[in-house]
Amino acid sequence: MTSSNVSTETDNSRDSSRNTASNRGDTILRADAVSVRFGRLTAVDEVSLELGRSKILGLIGPNGAGKTTLFNALTGYVPLSGGRVV
């Protein structure tokens, strides 16, 4: 999985910079530059995302892209090789 920055906001207001989840304090999950490595294999490479309260986040990609590994890292099932989950 390559680096990505996922936005979960779909607010239609004119000034969306004031209405981000983090500005309202509605962030329930944030991942900053999360990486997971198994030996020399990098399964997840510096993924960042933010999920706001009452929002739906989709994670799509081909088989072997690291979707399950990212989910397992976010839930603490596998240890992070880098980054942080808040």
Q: Are the beta carbons of 32 and 83 closer than 8 angstroms?
A: yes
* 8: Cα separation from own chain's centroid: 10
Per-residue confidence (pLDDT) for residue 25, from 0 to 100 = 81
Q: Select the more confidently predicted residue: 2 or 75.
A: 75
Per-residue confidence (pLDDT) for residue 15, from 0 to 100 = 45
pTM of the full structure: 0.71
pLDDT of 29-76, one tens digit each?
A: 999 999 999 999 999 999 999 999 999 999 999 999 999 999 999 999
Pairwise CA distance, residues 49 & 47, whole Å: 7
pLDDT exceeds 60 at position 16: no
Domain ranges of the chain: 4-85
DSSP for residue 16: G
pLDDT of 20-30, one tens digit each?
A: 555 568 999 99
